[in-house]
């Protein structure tokens, strides 16, 4: 699923940035990929995906 139409960024790319680069917010995400600086419509959704990925990961770690 595309999160940022302007730059063609998918939810998978954001997830992997969180997992591999430890991205925790939009500012950090923008340091590893370009998104959100065109129309800005994707910013809220991108932040949501960051939050959800962090939550999923910490749940997974507790179980594992």
Name the residues that contact ligand FES, by CB under 6 A: 4-7, 35-36, 38-42
CB–CB of 54/29 below 8 Å?
Answer: no
Nearest distance in Å: CB 14, ligand FES: 11
DSSP secondary-structure letter at 25?
S
Provide the pairing of β-strand 2-4 with 9-10. antiparallel
7 vs 32, beta carbon nearer ligand FES: 7
Enumerate residues 6+ apart whose C-beta is below 8 A from 20.
Answer: none
Nearest distance in Å: CB 52, ligand FES: 18
Nearest distance in Å: CB 58, ligand FES: 27
């Amino acid at each position: 699923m595309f999160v940022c139409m302007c730059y063609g960024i998918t939810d998978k790319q954001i997830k992997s940035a969180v997992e591999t680069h430890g991205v925790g917010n939009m500012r950090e995400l923008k340091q590893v990929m370009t998104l959100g600086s065109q129309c800005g419509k994707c910013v809220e959704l991108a932040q949501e995906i960051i939050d959800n990925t962090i939550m999923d990961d910490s749940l997974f770690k507790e179980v594992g």
